[in-house]
């Protein structure tokens, strides 16, 4: 204990925790320390010190937005781990993408579990985001001043679907390339721009090695980057619009 | 934290001013502030500026002027800055004298970037005194508010742990699919899109690809974005929103039905199957 106090007195420790942080002085369960715990924390960018009591009510938000965000974080962590072992190449004769999938399943430390978590939470995230949207609709939470945050939300939904769909191709097995072929054909039958968009997305007339590389970059870099930008706006607007809407 | 040094003040003036202010019916907190300020000012006037080193001459002039200008009585006895400004009519910035009303106009912009006063100390002030009448009070219900820490954070943390546990347990026991190596020349039968597009694929059975593949998705996306601008009903009470809720529920159910039928009721050739007799042709 005394040693811990000594550490707390060091310059280094003090430089890490801001004045008023609960890790500087020790936490007392007072209003003041509860407020400081938020204010001296990076979480203060997401949450204010106080919220309406109604905001705690589980049956209002069902935590769906928060859980979508958590799943996104979980997907990022597991995705980074998978990236260590995966090469997005599908050249004839050496589809490394697929053989890397087999390696992940069979030999990588916890590879199978991590891949399963990544896959299942991806599906779950699409689901929770859709339910979150339904919750927002049924509580009328898109009404002024939150109109624009709803629009941001629709963009997030679109990006979530995009992330899920681009990821679907990466295992490069029969399931993935044909699901992607069918999925992109949906838009591709039509004349005019749609078929050109399809060509651009696939990097060719049909799903091939170029598609794999393109979708890999979209999946691990471009789409997450854009999603995080919109998430920042989404969260910022929640606070600026006065916190959670309601009560009904 | 350094303890605050007692500012020397003239207790007699303080008491007198306090009495006078209270007699006028001033709010006690305001009265105390004014009395204290008057006391300090009276003390300074008698003893000169005490113990404040390194003051720029210009600034000292202002302070002295302020001390001289303060009437030591109840009246304006407040903002040193404001008093200083009043007492220095020659200053470049034209201050409007503080009116009695709560609203004060800002000084007109000079259009020039201010430059530091010659010889001014290398410091700036972060704290200024503002006359109580100058403060705009915003009265708002405090409402029933709770601390985010710990109440909301606990709730979020528990929700997170529950979902994490469910995902991990599920992933331990349910294997994600991985089929044979992709083969562009061998189309599996049926070929299905990922589940969230199966509603559209189902639509494709009934409509021209242009409709199912382009028009409907575009309408969904644009329609969703337009929702807040179309629904101008300000109420969020379910009872007042029967139309909106009915429409949304119908569309949502419509989409869900198409998705479920595309997922579980379509087999080889994307033809209709009954999942209980012919099996399920669905992979996640
Ligand atoms: C990646 C997807 C998304 C994430 C991570 C996310 C996250 C969140 C979070 C954490 C909240 C706080 C309240 C709650 O948890 O329910 C919230 C509120 C909100 N979200 Fe989302 N959201 C996403 C997608 C969407 C979508 C698709 C929509 C609508 C089309 C939407 C519209 C809104 C609105 C309007 C609010 C304010 C609700 C209120 O004040 O009651 N969001 N979002």
* pLDDT tens, position by position, B211-226: 888 889 999 999 999 9
Query: Helix A174-188 vs helix A193-202: angle between axes, to the nearest 10 degrees?
Result: 160
Give dist(CA A24, CA A10) in Å, integer: 10
| Residue pLDDT, tens place only, B181-191 | 998 889 998 89
Q: What is the ipTM of this complex?
A: 0.91
Q: B218: CA distance to ligand 1 center in Å?
A: 21
Same structural domain for residues B192 and B284?
A: yes
Whole-Å CA distances, B74 to B71, B112, B129 = 8, 37, 16
Give dist(CA B258, CA B284) in Å, integer: 17
Q: Which helix (H) or strand (E) holds A50?
A: strand A50-52
Residue A189 has pLDDT above 70, yes or no: no
Q: Which of A142-156, B35-49, B87-101, B241-255 has the lowest mean pLDDT?
A: B87-101
Higher pLDDT, B126 or A153: A153
Question: CB atoms < 10 A from the CB of A240, how many?
Answer: 11
Give dist(CA A184, CA A71) in Å, integer: 26
- Domain edge (last residue) among B93, B108, B123: B108
Is B33 inside a domain boundary? yes
Is B144 inside a domain boundary? no
- The pLDDT assigned to B269 comes to 87
Looking at the structure of chain B, the number of domains it has is: 2
> Per the structure block, which two tokens stand in for B173?
């026991």
Report A:102-131 residues touching B (Cβ under 8 A).
Answer: 102, 105, 112-113, 115-117, 119-121, 123-124, 126
Is B245 inside a domain boundary? yes
Least CB–CB distance from B156: residue in A63, A148, A150: A63
Same structural domain for residues B104 and B196?
A: no
pLDDT, mean over chain B: 79
Task: With CB atoms and an 8 Å threshold, state whether B201 touches A98.
Answer: no
Is B140 inside a domain boundary? no
Smallest Cα–Cα separation from A101: which of A81, A119, A86?
A: A86
- The pLDDT assigned to A188 comes to 65
Q: Which helix (H) or strand (E) holds B260?
A: helix B242-264
Q: Whole-angstrom distance between the N-terminal and C-terminal Cα of chain A?
A: 50
Q: Which residues pair with A91 in a beta bridge?
A: A94
Is B62 inside a domain boundary? yes
From the centroid of its chain, how far is CA B60? 41
Q: Residues of B with CB below 8 A from A196's CB?
A: none
Query: Which CATH number belongs to the domain containing residue B219 in this structure?
Result: 1.10.287.980
Q: Residues of B with CB below 8 A from A158's CB?
A: 221
The tally of CA atoms less than 13 A away on the side-chain side of residue A68 is 24
Give dist(CA B177, CA B211) in Å, integer: 32
- The pLDDT assigned to B91 comes to 42
Mutate to test the interface with B, among A137, A191, A219 (most CBs of B within 10 A): A137
Q: B269: CA distance to ligand 1 center in Å?
A: 39
Average confidence (pLDDT) over B246-260: 95
| Residue pLDDT, tens place only, A156-172 | 999 999 999 999 999 99
With the most atoms of ligand 1 within 8 angstroms of its CB, the residue from A136, A144, A145 to mutate is: A136
Question: CB atoms < 10 A from the CB of A102, how many?
Answer: 14
Closest residue in chain B to residue A56, using alpha carbons only: B152
pLDDT, mean over chain A: 91
- The pLDDT assigned to A42 comes to 86
Q: Which residues pair with A50 in a beta bridge?
A: B147
- Domain edge (last residue) among B70, B91, B108: B108
Is B157 inside a domain boundary? no
Tokens 């260590």 map to which residue? Answer: A84
Closest residue in chain A to residue B234, using alpha carbons only: A143
Average confidence (pLDDT) over B235-256: 93
- Domain edge (last residue) among B78, B108, B138: B108
Contact A24, A5 (CB under 8 A): no
Task: With CB atoms and an 8 Å threshold, state whether A37 touches B149.
Answer: yes
Is B59 inside a domain boundary? yes
Residue-range definition of the domain harbouring residue B252:
188-284
Domains of chain A: 59-240 (1.20.810.10)
* Neighbouring residues of B79: CB distance < 8 A, sequence distance ≥ 6: B98, B128, B129, B130, B131, B134
- The pLDDT assigned to B211 comes to 86
* Neighbouring residues of A206: CB distance < 8 A, sequence distance ≥ 6: A181, B184
| Residue pLDDT, tens place only, A37-62 | 888 888 888 898 889 888 888 889 99
> Per the structure block, which two tokens stand in for A198?
């399809």
Task: With CB atoms and an 8 Å threshold, state whether B171 touches A35.
Answer: no
Task: Return the ligand 1 atom nearest residue A66 CA.
Answer: 10
Task: With CB atoms and an 8 Å threshold, state whether A143 touches B224.
Answer: no
Q: A133: CA distance to ligand 1 center in Å?
A: 7
- The pLDDT assigned to B89 comes to 44
Is B214 inside a domain boundary? yes
């Amino acid at each position: 204990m005394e040693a811990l106090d000594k550490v707390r007195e060091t310059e280094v420790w003090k430089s890490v925790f801001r004045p008023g942080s609960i890790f500087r002085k020790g936490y007392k369960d007072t209003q003041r320390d509860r407020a400081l715990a938020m204010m001296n924390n990076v979480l203060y960018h997401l949450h204010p010190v106080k919220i309406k009591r109604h905001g705690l009510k589980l049956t209002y938000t069902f935590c769906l937005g928060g859980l979508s965000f958590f799943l996104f974080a979980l997907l990022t962590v597991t995705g980074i781990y998978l990236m260590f072992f995966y090469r997005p190449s599908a050249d004839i004769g050496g589809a490394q993408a697929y053989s890397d999938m087999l390696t992940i399943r069979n030999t990588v430390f916890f590879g199978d579990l991590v891949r399963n978590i990544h896959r299942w939470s991806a599906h779950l995230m699409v689901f929770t985001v859709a339910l979150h949207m339904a919750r927002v609709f049924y509580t009328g939470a898109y009404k002024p001043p939150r109109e624009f945050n709803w629009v941001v939300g629709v963009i997030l939904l679109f990006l979530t679907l995009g992330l899920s769909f681009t990821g679907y191709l990466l295992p490069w097995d029969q399931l993935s390339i044909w699901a992607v072929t069918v999925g992109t054909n949906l838009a591709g039958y039509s004349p005019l721009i749609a078929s050109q968009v399809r060509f651009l997305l696939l990097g060719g007339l049909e799903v091939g090695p170029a598609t794999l590389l393109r979708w890999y970059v979209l999946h691990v870099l471009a789409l997450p980057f854009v999603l995080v930008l919109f998430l920042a706006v989404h969260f910022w607007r929640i606070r600026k619009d006065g916190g959670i809407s309601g009560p009904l | 934290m350094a303890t605050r040094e007692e500012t020397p003040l003239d207790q007699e003036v303080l008491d007198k001013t306090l009495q006078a202010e209270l007699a006028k019916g001033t709010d006690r907190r305001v009265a105390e502030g004014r009395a204290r300020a008057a006391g300090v000012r009276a003390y300074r006037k008698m003893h000169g500026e005490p113990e404040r080193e390194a003051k720029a001459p210009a600034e000292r002039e202002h302070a002295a002027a302020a001390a001289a200008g303060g009437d030591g009585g109840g009246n304006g006895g407040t903002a040193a800055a404001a008093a200083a400004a009043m007492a220095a009519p020659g200053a470049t910035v034209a201050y409007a004298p503080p009116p009695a009303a709560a609203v004060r106009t800002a000084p007109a912009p000079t259009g020039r970037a201010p430059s530091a006063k010659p010889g001014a100390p290398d410091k700036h002030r972060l704290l200024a005194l503002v006359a109580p009448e100058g403060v705009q009070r915003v009265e708002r219900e405090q409402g029933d508010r709770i601390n985010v820490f710990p109440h909301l954070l606990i709730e979020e943390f528990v929700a997170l742990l529950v979902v994490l546990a469910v995902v991990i347990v599920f992933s331990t026991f349910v294997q994600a699919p991985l089929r044979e190596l992709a083969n562009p020349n061998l189309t599996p039968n049926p070929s299905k899109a990922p589940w969230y597009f199966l509603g559209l694929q189902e639509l494709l059975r009934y409509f021209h690809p242009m409709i199912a593949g382009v028009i409907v998705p575009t309408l969904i996306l644009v329609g969703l974005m337009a929702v807040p601008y179309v629904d101008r009903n300000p109420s969020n009470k379910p009872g007042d929103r029967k139309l909106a809720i009915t429409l949304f529920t119908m569309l949502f159910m419509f989409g869900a039905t198409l998705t479920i039928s595309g997922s579980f009721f379509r087999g080889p050739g994307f033809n209709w199957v009954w999942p209980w007799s012919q099996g399920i042709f669905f992979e996640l």
